[in-house]
Amino acid sequence: MEGNVTDLDNKQKLKMRIKAEELVNNQLDRTEDKLLDINEVNYELRVHQIELEMQNEELRETQIKLTESQHRYFDLYNFAPVGYITLNERSLILDVNLAGASLLKVERLNLINKSFIQFIDPDNRNKFYHHITKVRETGSKKTTEIKLLKTDESSFYVHLETTSVLDENGIFKEFRIGLTDITSQIEAETVLRNRNAKINKLLNVEIDDYEKAEIKLEKLIDNLKSSNRELEQFAYVSSHDFKEPLRMITSFLQLLQKRYADKLDEDANDFINFAVEGAKRLNNMINDLLEYSRIGSNEIEFEYLQSEKILETILTELEPLIEDNHAIVTYDPLPLIYANEQMMIQLFQNLIGNAIKYHGEKTPEIHISTNKIEDEYVFAVKDNGIGINKKHMGRIFTIFQRLHTREEYEGTGIGLAISLRIIQKHRGIIWAESELGKGTTFYFTIPDYMKVLT
């Protein structure tokens, strides 16, 4: 009996052990699964952490670059030698740099949202209004000169350069104005006038006689100007009117050539070709004459220009010609000048284009430089081309004067005549120095008005 009980106990204990082992195994399986899940989560979290760290580093570097760029802009804007002011459509000051605030003798922060009109001399306010109205209507940069007032009620003169800015929808946003103090120039003009008056007095020039002579001279100048305008108008109208009959002649000649070329003998076809070529050359001459007559026919606008930027513009336009001829064009630093932009572009284009055209067998080498001599800049355009015979130097600036045949070099012979006219409009002179077979240097002068006025 006791033996049976013992066996029963042992069986129960064995069942309980088996069941316990199953429970433990199940728990171990679940624990291993949980550990695997935890490891995967930890791995993903680590990957995301590294990605975030890399993104944060990129953002930090970008922020540093942005901050450096902002600092550079801040320095350039605030420490520029020229005053900069931003106005809204009601002429309220939105922003101003240190130079602009210094001109007005007001702390920069005290200028924000103040009306710019209050700093303009009352006699100049209408002029300023028309100036910004024109800028807004045309959308182009405009310049003017006005008289401003400081807080201590003293006055000074400035040169304004104004542009309008549009928002992303093309709607007007603000005016941006550059201010340059030209008080010293205006005062210099006054000093010059006073000196002239003193000189006239010292020379015992009677006022009455002086005024009579001045009136007579003014009438003579007016007559000459009127005569020049009439000649320019005559040249323009004549050239323009010549184009229509010439176009008709050319058209009918070409039509005759097209329809009857196979019915005419060789001589007749040659004659028609000569006539067509002659008509084309005459058309080119008329176009050049029109261009020549346009120079100075309208009021010329002068402004301060970076001559180096003008030269860079020309070299870009002449790039195909330069590459085709393998030309080498170099230049020294060039000055700020007071001139007409379009005329300066045409002048450089004529001189550099000629230097490339008449290069001979050598690779064209052109160098542009400038020297300051007293109160003017002397520009030089030097080449290593075929040169000019000294006996022809006296007529190179004459209209339609050619030194070579059309078979040798194309052109009508008007480029240098136009260049001379441009320089005369700028109160300068132009000349050339050359050695046959070794090259030519063209010189021209542009007055330094800043020097003259000071």
The predicted pLDDT at position 260 comes to 73
**The domain boundary residue, chosen from 253, 277, 294:** 294
Number of structural domains found in the chain: 3
Interatomic CA distance for residues 278 and 273, integer angstroms: 8
Burial class from Cβ neighbours inside 10 Å (0-12, 13-18, 19+) for residue 416 reads buried
In a domain, 169, yes or no: yes
Q: Are residues 279 and 326 in the same domain?
A: no
pLDDT, one tens digit per residue, over 87-141 is 999 999 999 988 888 888 888 889 899 999 999 999 999 999 999 999 999 989 9
Q: For residue 135, give the CATH number of its domain.
A: 3.30.450.20
pLDDT, one tens digit per residue, over 345-359 is 888 988 998 888 877
The 3-class SS string of 8-43 reads HHHHHHHHHHHHHHHHHHHHHHHHHHHHHHHHHHHH
pLDDT, one tens digit per residue, over 198-222 is 776 666 555 556 566 666 777 776 6
* DSSP letter assigned to residue 102: H
In a domain, 45, yes or no: no
Q: Are residues 322 and 367 in the same domain?
A: yes
Q: Are residues 309 and 441 in the same domain?
A: yes
Does the pLDDT value for residue 404 go beyond 50?
Answer: no
Q: Are residues 239 and 161 in the same domain?
A: no
Q: Is 423 helix (H, G, I), strand (E, B) or coil?
A: helix
Q: Are residues 266 and 315 in the same domain?
A: no
